């Protein structure tokens, strides 16, 4: 239990700092719950400066929840291209359809209802309810966890359910009665700009006189680190197959990783196989045709959350056979200058840029 006087003073100091130091962001100029929701989903795993142009493009393409609900999925994915984690974009569209059908186009304003929307977890729900609807609901993201852990010397990193519970309870206790949306944003802002993971700027921190870790000089011990999982490495070959001035692309299946995105054909290199042998085999198995590999275009290294991929890309020519693609939804021959109209996974983006 945080002593009431300490809590009050801490709230005042943080809000005064936020009024002075907050950064300008387009979503901070509105209290429209739809726009707050879009910004919060885009900001998951993505930095503010990356999100701003995406947010602006999105708002002009889909200014209302209805316009998003009625949008074509490939247009939504195209606008999301480059932000990664495409399930976020698919969930936004599905959730918008639910809001239109079940909530009369109004984003729900209770925790119970808003959390029925796909992609809206407790953090996003807290952000929308406190910022747009001024409700007294906490938020807890990586930044807030770090601040709370340091502020109260909590040996919690949120890795277990019980640790999460303690952090959520603390985030709730620390909330003021008024300006909860600003207070939540102030915590996130402090975590993003001052209370940084490895070098907290305690000298500039409005909470330095209340922060137990700072007073003990052991900020570096909080929060305790989580054991790191090693991400898997995979090697893949992909072919840019040309035929009469056009390039072959295919749309991934509806389920699984990177569902619905477009890609160049290819696949995982088997043990003992060269990248070229892999490509010829994959094209034979998946497209039912023979190709001639002409030259290597590039090697791309890209990290996804679950794995790191090395992609060997080759320019190819169709030798013989009629394409019967079996592992995709549909396929097309497209002019190279039209490739950029299709949503591709992040690792394919460099190939598209080099061909367009
Ligand atoms: Fe973080 Fe330092 Fe502020 Fe404590 S005083 S909240 S460790 S920046």
pLDDT in tens, the chain (356 residues): 788 888 999 999 999 999 999 999 999 999 999 999 999 999 988 899 999 999 999 999 999 999 999 999 999 999 999 888 888 999 999 999 999 999 999 999 999 999 999 999 999 999 999 999 999 999 999 999 999 999 999 998 888 889 999 999 999 999 999 999 999 999 999 999 999 999 999 999 999 999 999 999 999 999 998 766 667 889 999 999 998 889 999 999 887 778 889 999 999 998 889 999 999 999 998 999 999 999 999 999 998 777 889 999 999 998 888 888 778 899 999 999 999 899 998 888 889 988 87
Any ligand 1 atom below 6 A from CB of 207: yes
pTM: 0.74
Ligand 1 and 14: CB distance under 6 A = no
Tokens 């991929």 — which residue? 309
* Ligand 1 contact, 241 CB (< 6 A): no
| Whether 188 contacts 144, CB under 8 Å | yes
Query: Measured between alpha carbons, how far is residue 234 from residues 169, 260, 275, 306 in Å?
Result: 41, 21, 12, 11
The pLDDT, as a whole number, for residue 229 is 65
Distance 13 CA to ligand 1 centre (A): 13
Q: How far is CA 199 from CA 184, 205, 215, 219, 221, in A?
A: 22, 12, 16, 9, 12
The per-residue pLDDT for 15 is: 98
Give the pLDDT confidence score for residue 153 in this predicted structure: 95
207 closest CA partner among 198, 218, 194, 196: 194
113 catalytic per annotation: no
Give the bridge partners for 315, in sequence order. Answer: 240, 295
Which residue minimizes the CA distance to atom 4 of ligand 1?
211
Rounded to 5 degrees, φ, ψ at 85 are 45, 65
State if residue 208 touches ligand 1 by the CB under 6 angstroms criterion.
Answer: yes
- Report pLDDT for 230: 64
Residue of the nearest CA to atom 2 in ligand 1? Answer: 202
The pLDDT of residue 303 is: 84
């Amino acid at each position: 239990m945080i002593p009431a006087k300490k809590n009050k003073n801490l709230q005042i100091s943080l809000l005064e700092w936020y009024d002075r130091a907050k950064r300008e962001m387009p979503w901070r100029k509105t209290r429209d719950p739809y726009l707050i929701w879009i910004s919060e989903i885009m900001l998951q795993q993505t930095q503010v400066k990356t999100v701003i142009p995406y947010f602006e493009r999105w708002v002009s393409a889909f200014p209302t929840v209805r316009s998003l609900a009625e949008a074509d999925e490939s247009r939504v994915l195209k606008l999301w291209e480059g932000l990664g984690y495409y399930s976020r974009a698919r969930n936004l569209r599905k959730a918008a359809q639910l809001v239109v059908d079940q909530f009369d186009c109004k984003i729900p304003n209770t925790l119970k209802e808003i959390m029925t929307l796909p992609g809206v977890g407790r953090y996003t729900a807290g952000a929308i309810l406190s910022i747009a609807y001024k409700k007294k609901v906490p938020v807890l993201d990586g930044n807030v966890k770090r601040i709370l852990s340091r502020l109260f010397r909590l040996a919690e990193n949120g890795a277990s359910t019980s640790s999460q519970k303690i952090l959520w309870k603390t985030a709730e206790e620390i909330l003021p009665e008024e300006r909860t949306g600003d207070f939540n944003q102030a915590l996130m802002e402090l975590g993003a700009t001052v209370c940084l993971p490895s070098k907290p700027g305690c000298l500039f921190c409005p909470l330095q006189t209340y922060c137990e870790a700072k007073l003990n000089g052991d900020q570096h011990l909080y929060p305790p680190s989580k054991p790191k999982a090693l991400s898997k490495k995979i090697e893949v070959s992909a072919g840019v197959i040309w035929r009469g001035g056009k390039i072959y692309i295919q749309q991934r299946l509806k389920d699984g990783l990177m569902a619905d995105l477009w890609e160049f054909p290819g696949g995982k290199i088997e043990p003992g196989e060269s990248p070229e042998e892999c490509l010829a085999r994959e094209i034979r198995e998946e497209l039912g045709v023979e190709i001639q590999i002409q030259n290597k275009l590039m090697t791309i290294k890209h990290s996804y959350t679950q794995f790191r991929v090395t992609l060997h890309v080759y320019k190819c020519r169709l030798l013989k056979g009629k394409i019967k693609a079996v592992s995709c939804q549909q396929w097309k021959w497209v002019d190279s200058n039209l490739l950029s109209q299709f949503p591709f996974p992040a690792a394919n983006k460099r190939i598209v840029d080099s061909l367009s």
